[in-house]
Amino acid sequence: MRFWQELTRSVKQSGVLLWGAPLALLAVFFFIPMAAILNVMFAQSGDIVFSDSLRPLGFTVFQALLSTLLTLLLGLPAAYVFARFDFTGKRGLRMLTMLPFVLPTVVTAVAFNALLGPRGWVNLLMMKLTGAQAPPINFLNTFTAILVAHVFYNIAIIIRVVGNAWSQLDPRLENSARVLGASPWRAFIEVVYPLLRRPILSAALLVFLFDFTSFGVILMLGGAGFSTLEVAIYTQALHNLNLPMAGLLSLIQLACTVIILLLYGWSSQGNDVPLFPRLSGEGTRKPRSAVEKGTVALMVIILFTLQVLPLFALVSRSLVRLEGERGQRGKVQSGLTMDYYRELFVNRQQSVFYVPPSRAVINSMSYAGITMLLSVGAGTLLAYAMVKRPATRRWLDPLVMLPFGASSVTLGLGLLIAFSGSMLSRASFPWLVPLAHSLIAIPFVLRTVQPALSAMPKSLCQSAAVLGASPARAWWEVEMRLLSRPLLVGGLFAFTISIGEFGATTFIARPDNPTVPVAIFRYLAQPGGLNYGQAMAMATILIVICAVSIGLLESLSRAINGSE
């Protein structure tokens, strides 16, 4: 009896009850699939050609580096404008710059297709003006399309990370340099930039990670001529059925992302930005000089063109039938229409293999709800483990971050191999999809809840205990109330991530139960104006869902920061 008491006490002291369940989830649905990939690779090594991995690896690194540089080139001036100036529409534009980041990569591809594709608005307008019979702009299946989409997708990271750090700088430091005779450029180089070096490096590494693991953008905008590690894994596994080669590429990709994550963790250590306490809006002002007004106006125009126009083109394309496209009854019609949305609920061919897009919407919402519950539960347990037992953070945090850094395509391939033919296979275990999504979303929940939990004064629960509250009641009525907003923010992040996840879902979603991103990809791959319009309609639904989530996140963030 005494042995079990000692064992129970040691378990409680070590925090196993907190991190045990999330770690078991990670072990079963991440490490076992990764081991399955290695097992297939080494068991059938005769199908591996090592030289075939060099080209996708080289192109992956090259496009990620160039995309990151372009994102920094545009994102740093935008971060400066948001951090230093107040202007009309700032809050709305800030929210719109965040929207592309949480959108599925499939929607990003669809948006640029609607704007610059063969049937996009720009090409249609130019064909009408010039009388050309073929689209004059060839944007899809080009390297330019990849770069532009990556900047569109990731500029929010630079604006948020660097802009927030920039807005927290003590303005007296820069003003003192100016008083001592330094030019604005010299004050930036010698005073501001050294303080922002770490946030800039962290943001750049995070952008590089997302560009390095990009899948949907490369697959749908780059075409067959451009193959990154992600696309090569997808091609080798699903098209060539060469699992050993796919395993080798997955191993290379995972090793690279682990290195990037280690660099990111190193860059995020410490806090080189001296925080300056201020009231809401303090430190920002209206642009005064012509140069400042021109800079703000130019950045607003660039961000609107890059971030808003593609989404507007997508939404408008879902509501317009062009000349030559056939309606519901096969008649050639044009003009405004809601037919594409109505068709989401119709099985016009009465096929037993047909899955209506409305079913995909229901699937995505269901998976997202389950993902939110799993991620919030696991992320909260991990946050408590790291706060209550700080020693666990050294090894627990890197383990939890591994699925976030690993390729979603690699994760999907591993789950497909590991559980094929078992009770956990995609054919018999519908929870496999939300579990995979949860592994990707848990780090976001953890990063949201842990800081709030760490900042919570211990005296609050102690005061509740003095007043007679039991530990359970003190936890529920004190800690949970204070954590309610961070938990909701983390839950919304998890919900949005699940709605847009595409890479892993392509491997593990059942063909008769696709999610919205998978359904969009299917419809874009089929010819015909009706299929194209339905893809636009489904993408618009995703935009609305993500926009509502971002609006809630913005409202909660302002409430948490006390800016309201």
187 and 308 together in one domain: yes
Rg (the chain; Cα; Å)? 25
- Taking the C-alpha atoms of residue 451 and residue 458, their distance in angstroms, rounded to an integer, is 14
Q: Does some domain include residue 340?
A: no
Tell me, yes or no, whether 204 lies in a domain: yes
Environment class of residue 398 by beta-carbon count within 10 Å: exposed (0-12), middle (13-18) or buried (19+)? middle
Number of domains in the chain: 2
90-102 vs 290-303: helix crossing angle, rounded to 10: 30
> What is the spatial distance between Cα 92 and Cα 98, in angstroms, rounded to a whole number?
10
For 348-458, list the strands marked E by DSSP. none
Q: Is 115 exposed, middle or buried (0-12, 13-18, 19+ CB in 10 A)?
A: buried
**Does residue 65 share a domain with residue 24?**
no
CA distance linking residue 212 with residue 182, whole number of Å: 39
Which amino acid is residue 192, in one-letter code? V
Judge if 158 and 27 occupy the same domain.
Answer: no
**Helix, strand, coil abundance in the chain, percent, nearest 5:** 75, 0, 25
Are 301 and 443 in a shared domain? no
Strand, helix or coil at 185? helix
Could you tell me if 503 and 477 lie in one domain?
Answer: yes
My answer on whether 35 and 54 are in the same domain is no
Same domain, 55 and 30: no
Do both 398 and 503 map to the same domain?
Answer: yes
Q: Does residue 305 lie in a domain region? A: yes
Concatenating the DSSP letter of every residue in 205-256 gives: HHHHHHHHT--HHIIIII-TT---HHHHHHIIIIIS--HHHHHHHHHHHHHH
Pairing, β 332-336 against β 320-326: antiparallel
320: alpha, beta or left? (left if phi > 0; alpha if psi -120 to 50)? beta
Phi, psi of 273 (to 5 degrees): -95, 110
Tell me the whole-structure pTM to 2 decimals.
Answer: 0.77
Q: Where are the alpha helices (DSSP H) in 427-501?
A: 432-454, 458-466, 471-474, 480-500
Decide if 166 contacts 83 (C-beta within 8 A): yes
The CATH number of whichever domain residue 487 belongs to comes to 1.10.3720.10
**All residues at 6 or more sequence positions from 342 whose CB lies less than 8 Å from its CB, including other chains:** 328
Residue 342 domain-assigned?
no
- Listed as ranges, residues in the chain with pLDDT below 50 are 1-14, 272-273, 275, 277, 279, 328-332, 352-353, 563-564
Q: Are residues 283 and 369 in the same domain?
A: no
Contact 451, 393 (CB under 8 A): no
Asked if residue 7 belongs to a domain, the reply is no
Phi and psi for 355 in degrees, rounded to 5?
-115, 110
Distance CA 482, CA 452 (A): 8
Does 311 share its domain with 443?
no
Boundary-marking domain end, from 259, 292, 317: 317
Inside any domain, residue 5:
no
Contacts for 550 with CB less than 8 Å, ≥ 6 apart: 95, 98, 99, 102, 496
Write down the pLDDT at residue 188.
73
Contact indicator for 419, 432 with CB cutoff of 8 Å: yes
Query: Domain for residue 10, yes or no?
Result: no
Q: Which amino acid is at 358?
A: S
Q: What pLDDT, on a 0 to 100 scale, did the predictor assign at position 67?
A: 93
Over residues 444-457, the pLDDT tens digits come to: 788 778 777 776 76
Distance, CA of 297 to CA of 43 (rounded, Å) = 60
Residue 343 and residue 536: Cα distance in Å, rounded?
Answer: 12
Are 530 and 330 in contact, with CB atoms under 8 Å apart?
no
Position 112 in a domain: yes
> Whole-angstrom Cα distance, residue 307 to residue 159?
13
From first CA to last CA, the distance across the chain in angstroms is 56
- Residue 291 domain boundaries: 48-317
Query: Are 310 and 252 in a shared domain?
Result: yes
Residue where a domain terminates, one of 317, 332, 363: 317
My answer on whether 354 and 455 are in the same domain is yes
